[in-house]
Amino acid sequence: MNLFDHAEAQRRKEVGKALAADRRHELLATARGFAAFIAREYGTVTADDVAELMAANNLDYADLGNAAGSVFDAKFQWTGRVIPSKRPSTHGRLIREWSLA
């Protein structure tokens, strides 16, 4: 068994993301729509931005669960920047900044 197999790791990542996305497809579609709206309006978007807009619409980003990892799909590209999250639940971890692809 090879402990370090990048191709297998990527395959498992994609399978996991697909399963999580399928379970939360309606909320995920809403979050993706919010993300695209923010990116069009401001040029870039983060998970914090999406969480803020969801909260303003009485939705909870945390309800995405593992599907939160699928919000920024192929329609987005990472800008190469990371910033500290402002949400207390994230403990200030670094989050990616995205733009539309």
The kind and range of the H/E element at 59 are none
Which pLDDT score is estimated for 1? 64
Which pLDDT tens digit goes with each residue over 7-44?
988 888 888 777 767 778 999 999 999 999 999 999 99
Residue ranges and CATH numbers for the domains of the chain are 12-100 (1.10.10)
For 19, the 3-state DSSP assignment is: helix
Which pLDDT score is estimated for 22? 72
Helices (H), the chain: 6-23, 25-42, 47-56
Which pLDDT tens digit goes with each residue over 58-100?
999 999 998 898 999 999 999 999 999 999 999 999 999 999 9
Token pair of 39 as six digits: 């990116």
Which pLDDT tens digit goes with each residue over 28-37?
999 999 999 9
